[in-house]
Amino acid sequence: MASASLAHAEHHSASLTLPFLWGAATSGYQTEGNSTNADIWLLEQVNGTIFKEHSGNAYDFYACYRQDIALAASLGLNSFRFSIEWSRIEPEQGTISHEAIAHYQDMLRACHENNLAPCVTYSHFACPRWFAARGGWESPDAADHFLRYCELFSRSFGHLISVASVFNEPNLHKLILHANPLSDRAKTTMLAQAARACHSPTFSYYLSGDPQRVEAAMISAWRRAYDVIRSGPGQYPLGLTLAMTDDQAIGDPAARDLKRAEIYDAWLCACREKGDFIGVQVYTRSLTGPHGTVPPPAGSHSTTMGWEFYPECVEGACRYAASVSQRPVIVTENGVATDNDSERQDYIRRAITSLERAVADGIDIRGYYHWSFLDSFEWASGYRPRMGLISVDPKTKKRTPKPSAFLLRNLCPKKSMIWQL
């Protein structure tokens, strides 16, 4: 049996050709609806919740996926990013839903039937309720449970996947705490109520727990998951995605550089060690002076999420991610929360222009996914932020493409990439 490092080297002798990935992104929990076995579903319901509203049946993507995938293809996209939900595959510990497996297999086939390369996320924030009730990523055997899921996932879906990320934004907790060191206090009551509902001494989801311990556990799981997934069927680029801002220094860059090292570098180095690409998820910039974060300039415009409207963030984040990871970059999320679609169109134009500058300078960028395909449930913020290329009537579930969706179609570059896997 070959060692892990030898197997990795042997695998990288193979080649795969993919187009420049041009798509839109979703996540299962935010669009499918009624994810009743997920940890976040319970957190929405308890007293003291930080969620402004319940996700409910969302926009019923679980039932409407074939319609939505065909719509994505009609808009000139060549790839579609979505997650497969662990809580549907394994609703109770050790209980596998073959119905859910068949459902997601059909979703992947629908992508191929519509000439969309499926970009699949193994874990996009939401985990099974039973996993959270065991302590989530702070549990000593968390990685073992996750690895069994990865093995089942790969065996069931690997032959149908074009691109995949194992984790979605595993560094988000650190990024949030850097911006608001007191943010964890708001979760204490909510988590205690969830633990009580599960008759468990603990309950931990992706934004709780000690960030250093959780990061160490997840990086270890990432390294092991890479080898498990590579041993299964399918040949596709496998990476992870990071939550980033375009970090810009005001004066002395030391504080900015320290922030980057604390929030990104462990994951960027883990991807450099073992990974085929790094996914960059960026929406705005962050200004850092010698004494910490600096507010946006006077007169700057804020999005519905309260972030500075700064589409050029894509360029800086990609440059930094590429420089540390030494891996190809895919922009796996970028977009803007606004009710004004002309602002979204302006954002897209400027973001792609900044991306092209990075490419012209030799940054190896392999794809761009707009967040999001549909207006979605934006976690604690609920349905108020509108980030989609497609609006959805909350009562009839009718989908209506916004003008920005047609703009994105017209900007797609026409080129292919050779991936050495």
Residues recognised as catalytic = 169
- What tokens appear for 109 in the block? 């086939």
Q: How far is CA 99 from CA 91, 95, 105, 128, 223, in A?
A: 12, 12, 10, 17, 30
CA separation for the pair 308, 346 (Å, rounded) = 14
Angle between helices 142-157 and 98-113 (to 10 degrees): 50
CA separation for the pair 376, 39 (Å, rounded) = 18
What is the residue-wise DSSP string for 179-248?
H-TTGGGGGHHHHHHHHHHTT-S----TT-S-HHHHHHHHHHHHHHHHHHHHTSS----EEEEEEEEEEE
139 Cβ partners below 8 Å, 6+ apart? 131, 145, 204
- What tokens appear for 161 in the block? 């996947």
Q: Which residue has the tokens 């190896």?
A: 364
Largest CA distance in the chain: 62
Q: Which helix (H) or strand (E) holds 15?
A: strand 15-19
Q: How many Cβ atoms are within 10 Å of 212's Cβ, its own excluded? A: 10
Q: Which helix (H) or strand (E) holds 120?
A: strand 117-123
Report CA torsion sign: 71, 76, 79, 82. Answer: negative
CA separation for the pair 150, 155 (Å, rounded) = 8
- Are the C-beta atoms of residues 162 and 119 closer than 8 Å to each other? yes
- Are the C-beta atoms of residues 238 and 229 closer than 8 Å to each other? yes
Q: Which residue has the tokens 């990795």?
A: 8
Q: Which residue has the tokens 């293809």?
A: 73
Q: Which burial class, exposed, middle or buried, applies to 76 when counting CB atoms under 10 A from its CB (0-12, 13-18, 19+)?
A: middle
> 372 preceded by cis ω (within 30°)?
yes
CA separation for the pair 247, 244 (Å, rounded) = 8
Which residues share a beta bridge with 119? 81, 163
